[in-house]
Amino acid sequence: MAYPYVSDREVRVLSKYFGDPMQRRVDTYVERGGYQALKKAFEMGQDAVIDEVKASGLRGRGGAGFPAGLKWSFMPKQPTKPHYLLCNADESEPGTFKDRELLRWDPHQVIEGVLIASYAIRAKQAYIYCRGEFFETTQILAKALEDAYEKGYVGKDIMGSGNDIDITVHVGGGAYICGEETGLMNSLEGRRGQPRVKPPFPAAVGAFGMPSTVNNVETLSAVPHIVTHGGQWYRQWGTEKSPGTKLFCVSGHVNKPGNYELPLGFPLMDLINDVCGGMKDGKALKAVIPGGSSVPILDAQECADCNLDYEGVQTAGSMLGCASVIVMDEDTDIVKQVRRMVQFYAHESCGQCTPCREGSAWMLQILKRIEEGRGTEEDLQTMLDMSRQMTGTTICVLSDSVGAPVVSSINKFKDEYLALIRRGERVGVA
Ligand SMILES: Cc1cc2nc3c(=O)[nH]c(=O)nc-3n(C[C@H](O)[C@H](O)[C@H](O)COP(=O)(O)O)c2cc1C
Ligand code: SF4
């Protein structure tokens, strides 16, 4: 089965077997070198594994880009309580569709990454927290896990090493907020999936009150390769501060949308024009959201020199986030797109914090009003003020995510708001 679109500019490390269902079989995975990194990790010892991942410069692929090895090093070295590794497979950010593909095409790669990370942080129990709607993906993962247990790669005395690590696949409740690491922990414990106030941080008080580490599926998928080949090998791609390859989920108005694994630092315009076959129907580029719906929108001019690494996207005026690139052509109604994003966040707000709960709902009302031609110019200033009050004032950053598209769109596409306000001709919302 061919994977829909591939490009010869890709560096397929994590996605090498996308489109090949044989890779799901434990025997095939092992024939192709699988579970050897785990064996090597056991021989290296916990601290050497952490050092190697630190040396690779691998940064968390769940959005924040926090260095993975450093995060692991925060866990106690001499456990006095159980430790937990939580693999975040809740993937719900609009525009993001990479983790489900890693789980679907190469579940053993994820399982091996989970095992190595668990070993490194001295956890004997790991959970893979899967988004509730991932029915097929969860089935594939559960079958792979069963096979790995049967072959002795998971469970007691793994490969005769004396190491015990159990993995449980946990199906989430289907709420976006359960992807936030402490919301995930609450959900896993059977509570409401509401984020917790930090500190305490998960490495001190995490799942079930025990030291825990949360990592994204893509982060953990990179780990077996780093252990096999070494941290320096991983650094052959990417930049000094953003090493390695990254899966870019491209959606919107391009000819070949899809998942592309590319070195970090790849030029955004090459991604659109070359890898993705250019703009659909030859239309002009209007804007790009480079990192999933929670980051600021870039206009066409800002896209021109933007390199897709953590620093490069920041320099351009946005954030790499989880590298979900949403491409919008000249015909895109920016106000409508922003309203749809805010609608998503207003619906997904867990309601604990007043600025987020009330702010997102009110912001949605204002945007609908503008779309319907009943807005005023003061509404724009009101939304900017609200965004300021909603940023950095809440338990988690979902509230900030509402402000990012609103502020950036008002700053960069104010004319579109003004046109709607002035014409006052639009009726109803889609
Ligand atoms: C509202 C919200 C939703 C999130 N959803 C996800 C998600 O679906 N998957 C994910 O890996 N991280 C998500 N994150 C980030 C996690 O909190 C956490 O930083 C990440 O799982 C850590 O893994 P990493 O260090 O490997 O990136 C979310 C964060 C927030 C604030
Ligand atoms: S910011 Fe929003 S989603 Fe996050 S904890 Fe507060 S109310 Fe919940």
Q: Is the dihedral of CA 99, 100, 104, 105 positive or negative?
A: negative
Round the average pLDDT of the chain to a whole number and report it: 96
Going from the C-alpha of 48 to that of each of 99, 277, 401, 420, the distances in angstroms are: 27, 43, 37, 59
Nearest atom within ligand 2 for CA of residue 177? 3
Tell me which residue has its CA closest to atom 22 in ligand 1.
215
For residue 406, is pLDDT > 80? yes
Q: Residue range 406-426: average pLDDT?
A: 90
Locate the domains of the chain by residue range.
21-234, 245-329, 334-423
**What band does 4 get if pLDDT is binned at 50, 70 and 90?**
confident
**What band does 2 get if pLDDT is binned at 50, 70 and 90?**
confident
pLDDT at residue 208 in the model: 98
For residue 92, is pLDDT > 50? yes
Distance in angstroms (rounded) separating the CA atoms of residues 182 and 193: 8
pLDDT digits (tens, 9 = 90+) for 208-267: 999 999 999 999 999 999 999 999 999 999 999 999 999 999 999 999 999 999 999 999
pLDDT at residue 360 in the model: 97
Q: Which residues, in sequence order, are CB contacts of 179 under 8 Å at separation 6+?
A: 62, 88, 90, 91, 92, 93, 131
118 vs 430, higher pLDDT: 118
pLDDT at residue 1 in the model: 56
Cβ of 182 closer than 6 Å to ligand 1, yes or no, is no
Q: Residue 323 corresponds to which amino acid?
A: A
pLDDT at residue 425 in the model: 54
pLDDT at residue 3 in the model: 84
Beta strand residue intervals within 264-382, DSSP E: 266-267, 285-289, 298-299, 307-308, 324-329
Q: Which residues pair with 212 in a beta bridge?
A: 84
Burial classification of residue 352, based on how many CB atoms lie within 10 Å of its CB (0-12 exposed, 13-18 middle, 19 or more buried) = middle
For residue 290, is pLDDT > 80? yes
CA angle centred on 52, ends 51 and 54, rounded to 5°: 65
Fold of 245-329: Ubiquitin-like (UB roll) (3.10.20)
pLDDT at residue 430 in the model: 43
Inter-residue contact 212 to 86 (CB < 8 Å): yes
Nearest atom within ligand 2 for CA of residue 396? 4
160 vs 294, higher pLDDT: 160
Q: Which residues, in sequence order, are CB contacts of 92 under 8 Å at separation 6+?
A: 131, 175, 176, 179, 348
Q: Residue range 390-419: average pLDDT?
A: 96
- What is this structure's pTM? 0.97
CATH code that applies to domain 21-234 = 3.40.50.11540
**What band does 429 get if pLDDT is binned at 50, 70 and 90?**
very low
Classify strands 84-89 and 212-216 as parallel, antiparallel or unpaired. parallel
pLDDT digits (tens, 9 = 90+) for 266-284: 999 999 999 999 999 999 9
**What band does 173 get if pLDDT is binned at 50, 70 and 90?**
confident
- Would 21-234 and 334-423 be classified into the same CATH topology? no
Q: Ligand 1 mean position to 85 CA, how many Å?
A: 14
Fold of 334-423: de novo design (two linked rop proteins) (1.20.1440)
Ligand 2: which of 182, 187, 399, 400 to mutate, judged by most atoms within 8 Å of the beta carbon? 399
C-alpha of 299 from chain center: 23
pLDDT at residue 427 in the model: 52
Q: Ligand 2 mean position to 359 CA, how many Å?
A: 11
Tell me the ligand closest to 87's alpha carbon: 1
Distance in angstroms (rounded) separating the CA atoms of residues 376 and 382: 10
For residue 181, is pLDDT > 60? yes
Distance in angstroms (rounded) separating the CA atoms of residues 167 and 149: 9
Q: Ligand 1 mean position to 218 CA, how many Å?
A: 11
For residue 428, is pLDDT > 90? no
